[in-house]
Amino acid sequence: MGYILGISCGYHDSAAALIKDGKVLGAVEEERFTGIKHDSSFPIETIKWLYSEFKVQKDDIDAICFYENPSLKLDRIENSTKRGGLLNYFKRNKIISRNKKEYEKLSTTLNAITGENTKVIYGDHHLSHVAYSYYTSPFNKATILSVDGVGEWETTSMYYGEKNTLTKLGSVNFPHSLGMLYSAFTAFLGFKPNEGEYKIMGLAPYGDSTKYKKEFEELISKTNDSYEINMDYFVYDYSDEIMFNEKLGKLFGIPNRLPEDELTQEHKDIAAGLQSAYEKIFFHLLNKLYVKKSTHNLCLSGGCAYNGTANGKIIKETNYKKVYIPPAPSDAGSAIGAALHYYYNENSNSNRVTNNNPYLGPYYSNEDVEKALEELKVDVWYEKKNHSEIIEIVAKEITEGNVIGWFEGRMEFGARALGNRSIFANPCDPQMKARVNRVIKKREGFRPFAPIVKLEEQSKYFDYPHDVPYMNQVVQVKEEHRKNLPAITHVDGSARIQSLTQRQQPQVYKLLRKLHELNGYPIVLNTSFNLKDQTMVLDPKTAIQTFLNCEMDTLVIHNYIIKKKVL
């Protein structure tokens, strides 16, 4: 079988992935090339890179797999927008017409990149999510839950995977959507939907989840093995401009917050109530799923699988013993999912291929680094060192309170920096969280930072004995270590961890070992290498420019230690 190209685009987090014989060769979000956060455009730059990097031409592509079914999606838009009634008639026509045009444009664009014998396959939104999670998991049997905003009609999907086969167990249809509920409140609290949800998660621990319990019970309720949203308060099913109506503010007794407004205690309590309501329904779905198919292995997918707070409680709250969440569970990962689903459909008896490597993006050579350094030599000086010297220097700098930009190897796939495009700092420094938030990331002070920890020592410091390779579960920091790890411990004693093995990232693992020697903890504060409202840095030049644009102390790119020139 030849190459398979997977594509997801049109809504948010566009991406493309190239697969050969079941192996994911490369995958990148389009935003990394364009610099537009959550870029939804057709991933033309990513496809160019994939073809060039793996020396592929369009005639080498057996199939192009698109992550959803546009005509079914159009059917949902045409039907759900009817609820807007006569007042919404012209807006509805505009929405339908725009979506039809987008579908036609997509069709034309896909045809332009297909070879003579390339098949174009339109997938299913949730099946692409599910396939990505299951086929990249270590499990040969698992139940899979996909929770999202909306695909074609489905918002939540339940499957069972065994060997190479996926069997559907149930679903929830639009407008009943946990993802849309979370996004509506993201908008209500003055943040950007499909982008600011993680801010709500960071804000929730500052609030009292019981204060608005009654109000949330009015909005969302359990049914026998599903849930329902009270649509009296929401308009996201027929409007593409707003998500809720004035009744929502009346229910909570406060108007919706505007982005520049102060964050009050009421806002924090609403965030806490939302997270609590989300978890209640989420665990209800998981418990019902377990009854349908009793396996101890669970795979999670869909945009809501980024809800690390809920994910970290699964093993305590349900009968599942092992949880797998891939590095990019939202729409970006569906580029891989759509392609893998097609591959295993066509090769149902083939052995499963291991696809647990998150480092799937571009790599830059030392020549590339030197070229960028030469271009920016007016502002920086640098030294080339061997790897062991770099570990010594960086560990010492981190211990002394310096903030380090770390750029190495191939770029990570997904929203989380996993040690190849990271900013590192000392987790033991009580001032570090405020400093990194204020002068480096230039973002809200309530947002927590995540630690990377050596897997074999993780349970000494964190109340969670399981591997979390992609930083997507929030767990409790053990009581006796909280005061010594103030920079990575959130207000509720939690941290979103990444477990690291020597095999996954040898250099960062060595750094953790050295930090253990110097300050007593095999842990480093890790955040993505970007500034506020920018995408994660892609190449050496952008890394150096970002370093020069903030108060980071030192930059490491491969074997180069880089400092700013003091004028």
Smallest CA-to-CA distance from 321 within 139, 556, 127 is with 139
Three-class SS string for 393-410? Answer: HHHHHHHCCCCEEEECCC
Instruction: Tell whether 308 and 230 lie within a shared domain.
Output: yes
Residue at 297 is within a domain: yes
Q: Is 121 in the same domain as 202?
A: no
Let me know if residue 141 belongs to a domain: no
Question: How many whole angstroms separate alpha carbon 235 and alpha carbon 255?
Answer: 16
Residue 257 maps to a domain = yes
Please list the alpha-helical segments (H only) found in 359-505. Answer: 366-375, 387-399, 432-435, 458-461, 479-482
Evaluate whether residue 164 is within a structural domain: no
Residue 241 makes CB contacts below 8 A (sequence gap 6+) with none
Q: If you search the block for the tokens 């938030």, which residue do you land on?
A: 437
Are residues 237 and 206 part of one domain?
yes
Q: Is the same domain home to 315 and 183?
A: yes
Rounded to whole angstroms, the Cα distance separating 220 from 230 reads 6
- C-alpha distances (whole Å) from 407 to each of 295, 370, 493, 554 are 40, 14, 30, 11
In three-state secondary structure terms, 548 is: helix
CATH of the domain at 195: 3.30.420.40
- Claim to verify: residue 474 and residue 387 sit in the same structural domain: yes
Looking at the DSSP assignment, which residues form a beta bridge with residue 563? 381
Sign of the dihedral defined by the CA atoms of residues 76, 81, 85, 86, in that order: negative
- Continuous H helices in 204-264: 213-219, 246-252
* CA separation for the pair 413, 38 (Å, rounded): 13
C-beta atoms surrounding 492 within 10 Å: 14
Say how far residue 127 (Cα) sits from the centre of its chain. Answer: 18
- Give the sign of the dihedral formed by CA 92, CA 93, CA 98, CA 102: positive
299 lies in the same domain as 440: no
Query: In the β-sheet with 322-324, what is the strand arrangement from edge to edge?
Result: 165-173, 154-162, 141-147, 297-301, 322-324
Residue 140 lies in a domain: no
Task: DSSP letter for 23, please.
Answer: E
**Which of 304, 359, 349 lies closest to 149, judged by CA?**
304
Residues 529 and 438 reside in one and the same domain? yes
Distance separating alpha carbons of residues 10 and 31, to the nearest angstrom: 13
- Provide the pLDDT for residue 530: 94
Instruction: Output DSSP code: residue 81.
Output: G
Helix or strand (DSSP H, E) at 265:
helix 265-292
The 10 Å Cβ neighbour count of residue 262 is 7
Domain boundaries, position 413: 366-564
In a domain? residue 226: yes
Residue bearing tokens 């102390």? 553
Does 313 lie in the same domain as 394? no
Packed helices 366-375 and 540-548: angle between N→C axes, nearest 10 degrees: 40
Please report, in tens digits, the pLDDT of each residue of the chain (567 residues total).
Answer: 789 999 999 888 999 999 999 999 999 999 999 999 999 999 999 999 999 999 999 999 999 999 998 888 888 888 888 887 776 777 888 888 888 888 888 888 988 888 889 999 999 999 999 999 999 999 999 999 999 999 889 999 999 999 999 999 999 999 999 999 999 999 999 999 888 898 999 999 999 999 999 999 999 999 988 999 999 999 998 888 899 999 999 999 999 999 999 999 999 999 999 999 999 999 999 999 999 998 999 999 999 999 999 999 999 999 999 999 999 999 999 999 999 999 999 998 889 999 999 999 999 999 999 999 999 999 999 999 999 999 999 999 999 999 999 999 999 999 999 999 999 999 999 999 888 888 787 777 788 889 999 999 999 999 999 999 999 999 999 999 999 999 999 999 999 999 999 999 999 999 999 999 999 999 999 999 999 889 999 999 999 999 999 999 999 999 999 999 976
Euclidean distance between CA atoms 11 and 561, whole angstroms: 39
Amino acid at site 489: T
Contact assessment for residue 8 and residue 335, using Cβ atoms and an 8 Å cutoff? yes
Residue 556's CATH number: 3.90.870.20
pTM of the model: 0.95
Structure tokens at 517: 């020697």
316 shares its domain with 370 = no
**360 domain residue, yes or no:** no
Task: Give the largest CA-CA distance in the chain.
Answer: 70
Residue that is last in its domain, among 324, 358, 374: 324
Q: Are 131 and 211 part of one and the same domain? A: no
Helices (H) and strands (E) in the chain, counts: 20, 21
Report CA-CA distances (Å) from 211 to 179, 182, 216, 252, 279: 22, 18, 10, 10, 16
Closest C-alpha to 179, from 152, 151, 158, 199: 151
User: Of 346, 378, 398, at which residue does a domain stop?
Assistant: 346
Place of tokens 């809720």: 244
Specify the pLDDT at position 306. Answer: 93
pLDDT of residue 567: 67
Residue 161 lies in a domain: no
Q: Following DSSP, what letter does each residue of 305-340 receive, concatenated?
A: GG-HHHHTTHHHHSS-SEEE--S-TTGGGHHHHHHH
Do the Cβ atoms of 185 and 251 come closer than 8 Å?
Answer: no
How many structural domains are present in the chain? 3
In a shared domain, residues 405 and 552: yes
State the Cα–Cα distance between residues 24 and 38, nearest whole angstrom.
Answer: 22
Pair 391, 342 in one domain = no
